[in-house]
C-alpha cells in the first residue's frame, strides 16, 4: 500500500484545488494521443485524430479527458486506499477495454507535465515528487485487477 | 537491431527553437536536482556531493548545480547531432556502463525531468507538438547512452 505523508497530501490537494479539471483533462488525454500516437488505437470512434491540432480540439477527446481526470480527482479524496478506489475501473480496463497498463504510467507522466506547464515555479520539486508518487500509485491501482 | 531515430524538419525546428532559449546552467541544475528529489535512489550515484538531506538542500547544492550543468551541456550536443546520437554518445555510454555502473533506466528518468523543467519554464509554449518532439529526443538520447552496455 502506498503511504502519503501529511506534507505530500497537502502538496497534492493544494495544487488540485486550483486545477481546472475539464480543461486539464482534455489537455492530458490530448497530449497522450499526440506524444504516444499508438494510444490512439483505443479511441477509434473519436473521429478526427489526424494531427496535433485536430486531437487537441476534438470534442470527444476533451469530454473523455474530463471524465478521466474527474475520476483522478476521486482518487485524491482516497489516497490511502487507491487499490480499493480503482478496483472496478481496473477490472473494466482489463476485461473490457484491454488497455496495456503501461499506458496508465504514460498518462500519469503527461498529467505531471501539464501541471508543470500550468503552475510553473509553483510546481516545486517537492510538489512534483508528491504528484509522481500519486500518479504511480494510481497506475499501480489500475493495473491491480489485471490477470 | 540498430534502428536510427529520424527527426523530421518540424521536430528539429521545434527542438532547436526551444533549446536556444534554455539557460543550460540553471535548467541543468534543476533537472538533476529534481531527479535526486523525485527518485531518491539516484542519490547513490552522488555519494560525494555533500548535503542531499532535503529537497532544498539538494536544489541548493553547488555540486548538484555544477554537475547538472555538465549533463545538460552534453545534452546540447545531442541537439546538434540529432541524426547521429549513437555515435555522439558512444564514449559516454561506455563511461556510464564500465566506470559509473548506472542502470540505463535512470537515463529515461532524467529525460522525463528535463521535460518537466522545460514545461515549468516555457508553459504554454511547451505545446503538445513541442512535448512530442522533446520526448522523442530524450528517449533517443537514453537509448544512445544505453547502447554500449
> Please, what are the averages of pLDDT over each run of 10 residues along chain A (147 residues)?
91 96 96 95 93 97 96 92 92 89 94 97 97 95 87
Report the pLDDT value the prediction gives residue A147, as an integer from 0 to 100.
76
Q: Distance between CA B2 and CA B7 in Å, rounded? A: 16
B127: chain A residues, CB-CB within 8 Å: 52
Average pLDDT, chain B: 94
Nearest CA of chain A to the CA of B6: how many Å?
15
Report the pLDDT value the prediction gives residue B3, as an integer from 0 to 100.
58
Q: Under a CB-based contact definition with an 8 Å cutoff, are residues A12 and A130 in contact? A: yes
**In chain A, whose CA is at the least distance from the CA of B30?**
A125
Best interface-test mutation with A: which of B119, B121, B123, B136 has the largest number of A CBs within 10 A? B119
Q: Under a CB-based contact definition with an 8 Å cutoff, are residues B89 and B10 in contact? A: no
Report the pLDDT value the prediction gives residue A25, as an integer from 0 to 100.
96
3-state secondary structure of A138: helix
Quick one: CATH architecture of B9-146? Orthogonal Bundle (1.10)
- A70 interface with B at CB cutoff 8 Å: no
B37: chain A residues, CB-CB within 8 Å: 125-126, 128-129
Cα B96 to chain center, whole Å? 14
With bands split at pLDDT 50, 70 and 90, how would you rate the model's confidence at B2? low
Q: Distance between CA B55 and CA A125 in Å, rounded? A: 7
Report the pLDDT value the prediction gives residue A135, as an integer from 0 to 100.
95
Q: Distance between CA B81 and CA B4 in Å, rounded? A: 12
For residue A144, count other CB atoms closer than 10 A to its CB: 16
| pLDDT value at B104 more than 50 | yes
Q: Distance between CA B40 and CA A145 in Å, rounded? A: 29
- A32 interface with B at CB cutoff 8 Å: no
Report the pLDDT value the prediction gives residue A145, as an integer from 0 to 100.
83
- A56 interface with B at CB cutoff 8 Å: yes
Report the pLDDT value the prediction gives residue B1, as an integer from 0 to 100.
44
- Nearest by CB to A113, which of B34, B116, B129? B116
Q: Distance between CA A50 and CA A111 in Å, rounded? A: 22
Q: Provide ipTM, 2 decimals.
A: 0.88
CA angle, corner A11, sides to A34 and A103, nearest 5? 30
Question: What is the average per-residue pLDDT within B70-99?
Answer: 93
Report the pLDDT value the prediction gives residue A113, as an integer from 0 to 100.
97
| pLDDT value at B51 more than 60 | yes
Best interface-test mutation with A: which of B111, B120, B130, B139 has the largest number of A CBs within 10 A? B120
Residue A105, C-beta contacts closer than 8 angstroms, at least 6 positions apart? A135, A136, A139
Residue B116, C-beta contacts closer than 8 angstroms, at least 6 positions apart? A112, A113, A116, A123, A128, B34
- B137 interface with A at CB cutoff 8 Å: no
Using H for helix, E for strand and C for coil, what is the string for B79-140?
HHCCCCHHHHCHHHHHHHHHHCCCCCHHHHHHHHHHHHHHHHHHHHHCCHHHHHHHHHHHHH
Q: Distance between CA B90 and CA B21 in Å, rounded? A: 27
B128: chain A residues, CB-CB within 8 Å: 30-31, 34-35, 52, 55-56
Q: Distance between CA B115 and CA A112 in Å, rounded? A: 10
- pLDDT per position as a tens digit, B106-137: 999 999 999 999 999 999 999 999 999 999 99
Question: What is the average per-residue pLDDT within B84-106?
Answer: 92
Q: Distance between CA B36 and CA B33 in Å, rounded? A: 5
Amino acid at each position: 500500500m502506498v503511504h502519503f505523508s501529511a506534507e505530500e497530501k497537502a502538496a497534492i490537494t493544494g495544487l488540485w484545488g486550483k486545477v481546472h479539471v475539464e480543461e486539464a483533462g482534455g489537455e492530458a488525454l490530448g497530449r497522450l494521443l499526440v506524444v504516444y500516437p499508438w494510444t490512439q488505437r483505443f479511441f477509434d470512434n473519436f473521429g478526427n485524430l489526424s494531427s496535433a491540432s485536430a486531437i487537441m480540439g476534438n470534442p470527444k477527446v476533451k469530454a473523455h479527458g474530463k471524465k478521466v481526470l474527474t475520476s483522478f480527482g476521486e482518487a485524491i479524496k482516497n489516497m490511502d486506499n487507491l487499490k480499493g478506489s480503482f478496483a472496478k475501473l481496473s477490472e473494466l480496463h482489463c476485461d473490457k477495454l484491454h488497455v496495456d497498463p503501461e499506458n496508465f504510467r504514460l498518462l500519469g507522466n503527461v498529467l505531471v507535465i501539464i501541471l508543470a506547464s500550468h503552475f510553473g515555479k509553483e510546481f516545486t520539486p517537492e510538489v512534483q515528487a508528491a504528484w509522481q508518487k500519486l500518479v504511480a500509485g494510481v497506475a499501480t491501482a489500475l493495473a491491480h485487477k489485471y490477470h
